[in-house]
Each structure stands twice: as C-alpha cells, then as structure tokens.
C-alpha cells in the first residue's frame, strides 16, 4: 500500500521528491511502531488511540512539536489516500490534533502522592496482578524508563549484583540506569512469582496475567489504574511517571547532567524543562510561606 501511495504522490499529485521521501519514511516509522506494539495491527485496523500513543512516544523521545506535526501531516495524506481508494471506511486522523509548538510544563505526580502509593505496597501483595502492578510502578518511578524501553526489557538486562539496568533506547542506543534496594526486592519477588506461575514464559521481563509478553495497551492501563488511587491529574500514563522521576530527582539535589544521562536525552535542553517545573514548585512555596509576601 505504501508503494502505491508513493507512486500516487509522484505521478498524480506531482509532489516534490523531498516531500515524497519524507512522507514515505514517516509512514514506515509509524508502521514499525504499531507492529512493535501489536503484531496483529494493520493499516486497516489502526484507530485514533494508536496514533495518539505514537505521538506521545515521539514527544517522549525528544521530538519537537514541529517535527511531530510534520509526521502527522504525512499520516494524514496516507489515510486520505486509503479512504479515497476505499481501503478504509473511517479515517483515524479525523479528530487528531498535533501538539502545540509551545511545549507545556510536564505533568507529574507529587512526591507525597507517590510515597503514599508506594507505601501501600509494603503490605505483601496477594496475587500476581498486584505484584506486577507494584513492580511496574516502582521501576518506572525509580528509573525513569520510557514505555517502549520497559516493554523491551529482558531478565538478562538487570544486574542485581551491581544494581544496574541496561536499557535499549531509540535507535538501539544503550545506557545504564542504577537502582536501589527497594526495587531489587520488588523485582526479585516479582520474578520468583512469575516464574512459578509461568515456567515457560516468553523471553520478556514483563509477563501478563495470561502468560504472554505484556502489551503496551495493558501496560498503560495498569499504570493509569495505580495512579488513579492517589492523584486526580488528567493524564496518568507511564510518561507521567517518567516526568515524576525527573522532577523528584531534581527536587532532591540531583544535577541536571546526571538526570539527562539517566533519561537518555540527547540534548540538555530536553531535560531543562524539569527545572522549570521545580521552579514553579519553589515559587508557590515561597508565595505561601514567606512572611513579607503575605502582606
């Protein structure tokens, strides 16, 4: 279908070769994304939620709003073509709006709320789903991993002796993330229960309650359900826990270069958005507490 679309752009629409190459690459990148997320998906079964998750993934990788909007334009052109050829009957791009160019401050869960949630896990979880949920929330909050990085994690990537996790990020770039004793205990317990329940599970760290590698949709739902227990913010996704990790690190004295390396940001500017978040917190605390400011 993509090859036919490229021919259509070149021969019927007379697009420039540069635009054609960009549109083809953007659509192939999207195809790789949704096939990685769920191999059963196809161009005819894509819905708006998949497109929105892809947008979030791009922003998480540090892509600018302008770049994301350009890629969405490429998708829009392709889906209009599929609609015209009657290959699809509903355009998943119809209600999709691209990100605003001025990136808002990242949404995060307060430390007090995260502590309240994590403290509830101190009581021994009673079933596999609870143990899985605890492990997911704790590992996201303690490492700041991206959604795709966590879903691609394997047991061999976790070194309990040195307390390090090897993460494979965008373009197969690898980095090392340290972790503490609390996460070690939770991860070891999860793996023990998982292996007892599913002796022949796939080669993936995260295994669903049915014994399969955990899918992105189920992963996101688990995080949303857990965060709903302690916060009322509208967005309750794995990406929010990444923001929460970075904000908590900076609030507690970590230098920005260290946070940049742990998050896997190529540019320091991408990480600096969290300094704006911490500044807003400080400003609110000042306005609330300073005696001269109350006059």
DSSP code per residue over the chain: -HHHHHHHHHHTS---HHHHHHHHHHHHHHHHHHHHH-TT--TTT--HHHHHHHHHHHHHTT--HHHHHHHHHHHHHHHHHHHHTTS-SS-TTTT--PPPSSPPPPP---HHHHHHHHHHTTSPP-SHHHHHHHHHHHHHHHH---HHHHHT--GGGEETTTTEEEEE-GGG-EEEEE--HHHHHHHHHHHHHHHHH-TT--S-S-B-TTSSBPPHHHHHHHHHHHHTTT---S--SHHHHHHHHHHHHHHTT--HHHHHHHHT-SSHHHHHHHHHHHHHHHHHHHHHH-TGGG-
Residue 290: pLDDT above 50? no
Choose the catalytic residue: 194, 236, 239, 243: 239
Q: Specify the pLDDT at position 61.
A: 85
Residue 295: pLDDT above 60? no
**pLDDT tens, 138-184?**
999 999 999 999 999 999 999 999 999 999 887 788 999 999 999 99
Choose the catalytic residue: 23, 33, 121, 274: 274
Residues whose CB is less than 8 angstroms from the CB of residue 52 and which lie 6 or more positions away in sequence, other chains included:
96
- The two structure tokens encoding residue 13: 């629409």
Q: Is 116 a catalytic residue?
A: no
Residue 210: pLDDT above 90? yes
Residue 273: pLDDT above 80? no
Choose the catalytic residue: 10, 170, 175, 197: 170
Q: Is 197 a catalytic residue?
A: no
Q: Specify the pLDDT at position 77.
A: 95
Q: Specify the pLDDT at position 276.
A: 62
Choose the catalytic residue: 71, 76, 146, 147: 146
> How far apart are alpha carbons 265 and 268 in whole angstroms?
7
User: Mean of the pLDDT values across residues 239-249?
Assistant: 90
Residues whose CB is less than 8 angstroms from the CB of residue 267 and which lie 6 or more positions away in sequence, other chains included:
62
User: Does the pTM of the predicted model rise above 0.75?
Assistant: no
Choose the catalytic residue: 71, 236, 243, 265: 265
Q: Is 170 a catalytic residue?
A: yes
**Residue 27 CB neighbour total at 10 angstroms:** 21
Q: Is 84 a catalytic residue?
A: no
Q: Is 175 a catalytic residue?
A: no
Q: Specify the pLDDT at position 259.
A: 87
| Cα angle 62-230-107, degrees, rounded to a multiple of 5 | 20
Q: Is 276 a catalytic residue?
A: no
Q: How confident is the model at residue 98 (pLDDT cuts 50, 70, 90)?
A: confident
User: Mean of the pLDDT values across residues 22-40?
Assistant: 93
> Taking a C-beta distance cutoff of 8 angstroms, is the pair 152, 37 a contact?
no
């Amino acid at each position: 279908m993509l090859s036919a679309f490229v021919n259509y752009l070149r021969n019927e629409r007379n697009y420039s070769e540069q635009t054609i190459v960009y549109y083809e690459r953007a659509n192939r990148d999207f195809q790789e994304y949704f096939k990685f997320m769920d191999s059963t998906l196809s161009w005819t079964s894509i819905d708006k939620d998949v497109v929105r998750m892809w947008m979030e993934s791009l922003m998480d990788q540090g892509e600018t709003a302008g770049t994301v909007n350009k890629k969405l334009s490429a998708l829009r052109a392709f889906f209009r073509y599929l609609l015209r050829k009657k290959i699809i009957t509903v355009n998943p791009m119809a209600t999709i709006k691209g990100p605003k160019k001025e990136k808002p401050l990242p949404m995060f869960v307060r430390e007090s709320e995260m502590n309240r949630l994590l403290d509830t896990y101190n009581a021994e979880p009673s079933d596999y789903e609870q143990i899985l949920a605890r492990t997911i929330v704790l590992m996201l909050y303690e490492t700041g991993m991206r959604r795709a990085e966590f879903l691609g994690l394997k047991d061999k990537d976790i070194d309990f002796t040195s307390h390090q996790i090897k993460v494979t990020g965008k373009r197969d770039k690898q980095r090392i993330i340290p972790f503490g004793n609390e996460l070690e205990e939770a991860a070891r317990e999860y793996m023990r229960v998982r292996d007892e329940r599913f002796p022949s599970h796939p080669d993936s760290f995260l295994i669903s309650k049915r014994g399969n590698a955990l899918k992105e949709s189920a992963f996101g739902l688990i995080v949303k359900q857990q965060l709903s227990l302690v916060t009322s913010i509208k967005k309750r996704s794995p990406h929010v826990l990444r923001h929460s990790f970075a904000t908590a690190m900076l609030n507690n004295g970590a230098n920005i270069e260290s946070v940049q390396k742990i998050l896997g940001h190529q540019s320091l500017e991408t990480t600096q958005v969290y300094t704006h978040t911490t500044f807003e917190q400080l400003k609110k605390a000042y306005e609330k507490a300073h005696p001269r400011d109350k006059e």
